[in-house]
């Protein structure tokens, strides 16, 4: 099958410029880590769920990140995989070094399995006769009259599921806004987590990275993930000053997530 190239916005870079001017105006979304000590203290199952899926290490990544390198990574990014068969292979150039990776390589970098469902769609539910939308909704809204077109507000979720949604929208598919409602994609991810069904996390991350390049505006996610990718391929960060994770106090984070 022919390969489809999907590249980021803008044309050829002027000499000496590291990334396209459009990326110079975009912010880098600061990553976070999950402190599982307070989730187990509250008798939540989050750590167990992520451990079963093999994702736990991903949520504890705490690496410095380099804003200019993140923008250069995105600015030169393209997909050289086979879109027809949902095969992703991303390539980019950083510090004049070309790097290329697929979900298996990314899985090795992040120490998570590259196996399971690859569904990625925010605006519609998958056409799967064995995965009924209403049945999935009842898992998270047991006391509501669920139906396919319902708004899926997060304020009606229980404390544990609300925290799971927060982690989904800040770690798995990071977004700046829109956290007051669940998208179909987030519902799909959360259902797989609570039912221990395998989901290809590296593929989802790569899809979301690629989606960020298709936008003219919006924050660029996965700063710390990109640090790990670039380090894996031997990129030397030079003299750029690293940014580091802002740690939210545990008590504040717990209260904000568990408040009803």
pLDDT in tens, 71-95: 999 999 999 988 777 789 999 999 9
Residue 169: predicted pLDDT: 94
> Higher confidence at residue 146 or residue 122?
146
Give dist(CA 183, CA 206) in Å, integer.
Answer: 18
Give dist(CA 63, CA 228) in Å, integer.
Answer: 8
Give dist(CA 31, CA 247) in Å, integer.
Answer: 10
Residue 127: predicted pLDDT: 87
Q: What are the distances in angstroms from CA 150 to CA 66, 121, 133, 225?
A: 41, 17, 11, 34
Residue 247: predicted pLDDT: 52
Which residues are within 8 A (CB) of 84 and not within 5 positions of it... i.e. 6 or more apart?
1, 2, 4
Q: Does residue 252 register a pLDDT over 70?
A: no
Residue 12: predicted pLDDT: 57
> Higher confidence at residue 255 or residue 65?
65
Residue 230: predicted pLDDT: 97
Residues of the chain with pLDDT > 70: what percent?
A: 87
pLDDT-wise least confident of 13-17, 122-126, 150-154, 180-184: 13-17
| Residue 31 contacts residue 61 (beta carbons within 8 Å) | yes
Q: Tell me what the mean pLDDT of segment 141-161 comes to.
A: 92
Q: Does residue 260 register a pLDDT over 70?
A: no
> Higher confidence at residue 87 or residue 173?
173
Task: State both tokens at 249.
Answer: 């106090």
Residue 253: predicted pLDDT: 45
List the Cα angle 243/248/250 in 5-degree steps: 145
Residue 14: predicted pLDDT: 53
pLDDT in tens, 193-250: 999 999 999 999 999 999 999 888 889 999 999 999 999 999 999 888 888 875 544 4
Predicted TM-score of the model (pTM): 0.87
């Amino acid at each position: 099958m022919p390969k489809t190239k999907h590249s980021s916005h803008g044309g050829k870079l002027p000499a000496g410029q590291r990334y396209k001017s459009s990326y110079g105006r975009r912010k880098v979304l600061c990553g976070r880590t999950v402190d599982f000590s307070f989730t187990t203290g509250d008798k939540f199952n989050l750590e167990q769920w992520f451990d079963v899926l093999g994702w736990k290490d991903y949520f504890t990544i705490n690496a410095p990140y380099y804003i200019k390198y993140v923008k250069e990574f995105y600015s030169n990014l393209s997909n050289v995989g086979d879109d027809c068969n949902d095969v992703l292979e991303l390539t980019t150039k950083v510090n004049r070094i070309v790097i290329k990776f697929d979900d298996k390589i990314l899985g090795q970098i992040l120490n998570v399995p590259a196996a399971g469902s690859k569904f990625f769609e925010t605006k519609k539910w998958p056409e799967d006769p064995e995965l009924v939308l209403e049945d999935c909704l009842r898992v998270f809204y047991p006391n509501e009259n669920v139906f396919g077109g319902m708004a899926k507000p997060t304020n009606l979720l229980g404390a544990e599921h609300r925290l799971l949604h927060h982690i989904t929208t800040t770690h798995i598919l990071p977004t700046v806004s829109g956290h007051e409602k669940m998208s179909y994609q987030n519902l799909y991810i959360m259902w797989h987590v609570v039912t221990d069904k395998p989901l290809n996390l590296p593929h989802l991350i790569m899809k979301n990275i690629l989606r960020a390049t298709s936008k003219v505006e919006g924050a660029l996610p996965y700063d710390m993930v990109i640090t790990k990718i670039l380090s894996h391929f031997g990129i030397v960060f030079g003299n750029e000053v690293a940014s580091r994770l802002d740690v939210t106090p545990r008590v504040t984070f717990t209260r904000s997530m568990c408040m009803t």
